[in-house]
Amino acid sequence: MARKRALSAATFRRGINLWPPFLFAGIRVMSVGADYRSARVRLRLRRSNRNWVGTHFGGSLFAMTDPFWMLLVMQNLGPDYYVWDSAAEIRFVSPGRGDVFADFELTDDRLTEIRALTADGDKALVWFDTDVLAADGTLVATVRKQVYVRPKPQHEPQRASVATAA
């Protein structure tokens, strides 16, 4: 049974595009799947995010990929799991001289794998890989993110909504 999402993917996309670390770095979330299974992100090359030699600043390349694996996993596993970013690494392959893109796709197989790894209540540390590509398909960087996932204890109370007093 699918659970109702607190925030639609379209509303999330509009909101994260206004988040200062993305807004001021030239990062734009182009799309988020309605089921939170995919996302597409673009980084425009601007004067404010160029490095000394005029190509994309590495921190901006990393930032454009930072929250997505955690958010996609969190939205798909639901409130019965702890989901955190745990580790990351980036490898720069070629200079980014124009717009670059990163695509994220969370598959049923990965979700099944995560559920199986955590079925006994233990944590799982799951790696996800993302390529950052130039508009012409040239590989600019590869980013690996490790996501920590653990089921919440059954006896832990869920957060209740705060009711407003009249």
Domain presence at residue 61: yes
CA distance 15 to 22: 10
Q: How confident is the model at residue 121 (pLDDT cuts 50, 70, 90)?
A: very high
Count of domains forming the chain:
1
pTM: 0.85
Contact of 100 with 133, CB cutoff 8 Å: yes
Domain membership of residue 136 as a residue range: 9-151
On the 0-12 / 13-18 / 19+ scale of CB atoms within 10 A, 99 is middle
Q: What's the pLDDT score for residue 67? A: 92
Would you say residue 160 lies in a domain? no
pLDDT of res. 54: 84
| Residue 66 within a domain | yes
Question: Within a domain: residue 3?
Answer: no
Residue 115 belongs to some domain of the structure: yes
Average of per-residue pLDDT across 129-141 = 97
Checking DSSP bridges between strand 81-92 and strand 38-43, what pairing results, if any? Answer: unpaired
Q: How confident is the model at residue 4 (pLDDT cuts 50, 70, 90)?
A: low
**Calpha distance 148→151 (Å, rounded):** 10
Q: CATH number of the domain that 55 lies in?
A: 3.10.129.10
- pLDDT of 73 > 50? The answer is yes
Domain assignment present for residue 41? The answer is: yes
Is 156 a member of any domain? no
Q: 43, 61 in Cβ contact below 8 A?
A: yes
Does residue 160 surpass a pLDDT of 70? no
Q: Is residue 29 situated within a structural domain? A: yes
